[in-house]
Chain A
Amino acid sequence: MSPFEYAPAPESRAVVDIASSYGLFIGGEFVEATGGTPFKTVNPATEEVLAEVSEATDDDVDTAVRAARTAYTRVWSRMSGADRGKYLFRIARILQERAREFAVLETLDNGKPIKEARDVDLPLAAAHFFYHAGWADKLDHASLGPDPRPLGVVGQVIPWNFPLLMLSWKIAPALACGNTVVLKPAETTPLTALLFADVCRQADLPPGVVNIVTGAGATGQAIVDHPGIDKLAFTGSTAVGKMIARSIAGTRKKATLELGGKAANIIFDDAPIDQAVEGIVNGIFFNQGHVCCAGSRILVQENIAEELDHRLKRRLATLRVGDPMDKNTDVGAINSRKQLERIEEMVAVGEAEGAERWDSGCDLPTNGFWFRPTVFSGVSQTHRIAQEEIFGPVVSVLTFRTPAEAVAKANNTPYGLSAGIWTEKGSRILWMADQLRAGVVWANTFNKFDPSSPFGGYKESGYGREGGRHGLEAYVTTGGRG
């Protein structure tokens, strides 16, 4: 038995109660979909069917938008900011109270390790509501421009990598600013959003302020195209983001898009090497690499490339890959068969293009969707694995000699979401941070998030910011002039 083997420490799933089927949450109650093809959501770690979920049709989306409009005009836009804030404080507290239930449900539906759902997703989701609750009656002081007012009904479409956390990033600022929402969770991870409906019920949130419709791309498109939507907020792929930008061209709908990334994690030869290795592991293997801001390109200074390669692989051999419900698991299941196939395809491309593939060789469970932590070395900038988002536990290693070369390579991508810098030299950190065309720069750390810290990308990683004072700008109008 290796010193890194642990006895199983499974989290109990008794705390969650999953219904066999779910309707749509519209106007404060669950209603049947008017048609559409119900679909199943599975536990990606076991392929067990968890529940059957409704597909919202165009008519259902229309009903949801009308419910949101009614709630907006009759209740939510007329309510004082202080009262809106109190509802958001209630939601934050309920999420804290039911954190364990939500964490377990998230892990079952998403496949992420329970320790991440428990220690990252849930605390941050509650914190987002708590933070924005306090803004609701202070918008006049947020430097948003004169007389900030809500936009109306907001359509929100969120991804499967951080289901509840993305819901909170979307709903909390929208409600704080006085908007009402129609939100669609991803088709592979709808359960925590549906459970959030129960949080709205417990908080006595007025009916129609939050509406949750489930479905896939067609449902999302129906939200985007609905004429009653004033603003769209989307997190997902750059390809879909561009489709949304095209769909709303020539209309007065506003949008914020938080899209893909291909972040460079830049390691200088004076970096604290063991911390840097931990930062690389956190950067790309956190949440199975299903992170838009993942550090999927390591740029390492040439003279320490060999040493880093050795230390990184030694560390990866100790990662525990497997049952997400085990409290010791580091890397859980890939979210879906489709995503697993995408990762396998990109890894095959990497090998075919001549990069050298290494993986940890760890055992994988027989059922479910799994991929071993994988490192490509000998990668050049033109390789697809250095250009395209893989969205899985796969990292490409490139080298550089000078800071200027590191900057040129880091910026050589249509994306611009995040970047990492590892060096002990303070002046170099600040110079690098200035040069990098990325919305979030982590220096001697990686993948840190906070509700008070604006997040979002440059270039084709999208536009708009979420979090902080900046995130409010997307949810108000100030009637800008001249």
Chain B
Amino acid sequence: MSARVDVRKTYKLYIGGKFPRSESGRSYEVYAAPTGAAARRGSSSRPPTFLANAAQGSRKDARDAVVAARKAQPGWAAATAYNRGQVLYRVAEVMESRRAQLVQDVRNSEGVGAAQAEATVSAAIDRWVWYAGWSDKFTQVLGGLNPVAGPFFDISAPEATGVVAVLAPQASSLLGLVSVVAPVIVSGNTAVVLTSEERPLPAITLAECLATSDVPGGVVNIITGRTAEVTPWLASHRDVNAIDLTGAAGADGVDWGGLELAAADNLKRVRRPGGTGTEAVEPDFTATPDLSRLTAFLETKTVWHPKGR
């Protein structure tokens, strides 16, 4: 009896809650990462395993994603914090239900064994839950009443900065991705995420989780493709409020200083990549996070009102 011929998936972009192909009609081949001894040697006697033709996102796709993100932002930010928290918690529920697929994606993309992939997926789901819980807490932690010297009620509170472009980490294709996307959207920002160039498939699976989790279309938009080709258009886009350059580390042909330079045209808030000097280093995403990825994409608004009888 011959083995069953499996039904393979077409991996597409995720923009405005829909799954379009790249408007450019282009795709690029994605291969499994080498495993075990082959990975340690840095070479493999066997040819790499073909995984998929991922959509090769273009400048236009990125712009469409910004439009979708902008359209979704006021409504997402205006949702109650409790509501945003429940919607994001729902994402973790759906991730858990798709655990097998996520584990397989991580194994394929990162070339790790089953046990490590299981641990990575668990950490990613737990990380998502951790950030989801912040939705109705960061405002109190970061804001408060200011004791001004006069008869005024004066209060400061954080709010979302707007549309955030995110360069997802190149190596940590799921845990890293979750660790940079969740803190952006939990506060009411919307995101345009450029995935790991060589390891894009976990991001598309995450998109399917988002699409089935009551996350409004446009809150997270996911572009697969060549990082060096698409990022300059996001860095210079005048309707993007902030950019996270974490994924510049290890990205082929990407100069993060040049992206920061372009981002200055409309004074985007820039989260630089890890590392020192000009070198960009991908952080260790297994470490417990602090609040810095949340606060990087928040504005502080201070409101004054006189007191009187």
Contact = CB atoms under 8 A, between A and B. Distances in A.
B2 to A, nearest CB: 47
A452 B285 CA distance: 35
Interface in A433-482: 433, 438-445, 448, 450, 452-456, 458-460, 462-463, 465, 468-470, 473, 478, 480-482
A440 B302 contact: yes
Nearest to A453: B146
Contacts of B269: 463
Interface in B255-274: 255-258, 260-261, 263-267, 269, 272
Contact of A445 (B156, B264, B289, B304): B304
B7 interface: no
A245 to B, nearest CB: 4
A246 B146 contact: no
B284 A454 contact: no
Contacts of B179: 482
Nearest to B145: A452
A250 interface: yes
- Which secondary structure dominates chain B's binding surface? mixed
B147 A443 contact: no
Contacts of A403: none
Interface in A100-146: 127, 143, 145-146
A460 B267 contact: yes
Contacts of B79: none
A101 to B, nearest CB: 23
Interface in B27-74: none
A32 B249 CA distance: 46
Nearest to A426: B305
A19 interface: no
B253 interface: no
A443 B303 contact: yes
A20 interface: no
A481 B302 contact: no
Contact of A443 (B150, B156, B266, B304): B304
Please indicate which of the listed interface residues A246, A455, A463, A482 has the most CB atoms of chain B within 10 Å of its own CB: A482
B25 interface: no
B98 to A, nearest CB: 23
A478 B264 contact: no
Contacts of B141: 143
Contacts of B266: 414, 459-460
B5 interface: no
Interface stretch (B106-114, B198-206, B214-222, B275-283): B275-283
A1 interface: no
A242 B146 contact: no
Interface string B1-26: 00000000000000000000000000
Contact of A249 (B154, B260, B293, B303): B260
A139 to B, nearest CB: 15
Contact of B300 (A257, A439, A443): A439
A356 B56 CA distance: 54
Given A242-B265, A246-B261, A257-B267, A439 B302 contact: yes
A427 interface: no
B264 A249 contact: yes
Contacts of A238: 267
B148 interface: yes
A458 B299 contact: yes
B152 A252 contact: no
Contact of B284 (A143, A444, A460, A482): A482
A427 to B, nearest CB: 13
A241 interface: yes
Contacts of B161: 458
A459 B289 contact: no
A429 interface: yes
B257 to A, nearest CB: 2
Nearest to A461: B267
Nearest to B148: A450
B178 to A, nearest CB: 11
B304 A478 contact: no
Contact of B267 (A250, A433, A462): A462
A251 interface: yes
A238 B266 CA distance: 10
B142 interface: yes
A245 B305 contact: no
Contact of A146 (B265, B290, B305): B290
Contacts of A433: 301, 303
Nearest to A124: B149
A143 B143 CA distance: 11
Contacts of A251: 257, 278
Contacts of A455: 302
Contacts of A481: 283-284, 287-290
Contacts of A458: 161, 299, 301
Nearest to B158: A470
A216 B277 CA distance: 29
A454 B295 CA distance: 15
B291 interface: yes
9 contacts: A127-B149, A250-B255, A448-B304, A463-B269, A480-B290, A481-B283, A482-B179, A482-B289, A482-B290
Instruction: Name the 10 nearest CB pairs between A and B, nearest first.
Output: A250-B257, A480-B292, A245-B264, A249-B260, A450-B148, A249-B261, A453-B146, A443-B305, A482-B289, A441-B303
Given A448-B152, A450-B146, 18 more contacts: A143-B142, A246-B261, A249-B261, A250-B256, A250-B257, A429-B305, A441-B301, A441-B303, A448-B304, A453-B148, A453-B302, A454-B302, A462-B267, A463-B269, A480-B292, A480-B293, A481-B288, A482-B290
Interface of A: 127, 143, 145-146, 238, 241-242, 245-246, 249-252, 257, 259, 414, 429, 433, 438-445, 448, 450, 452-456, 458-460, 462-463, 465, 468-470, 473, 478, 480-482
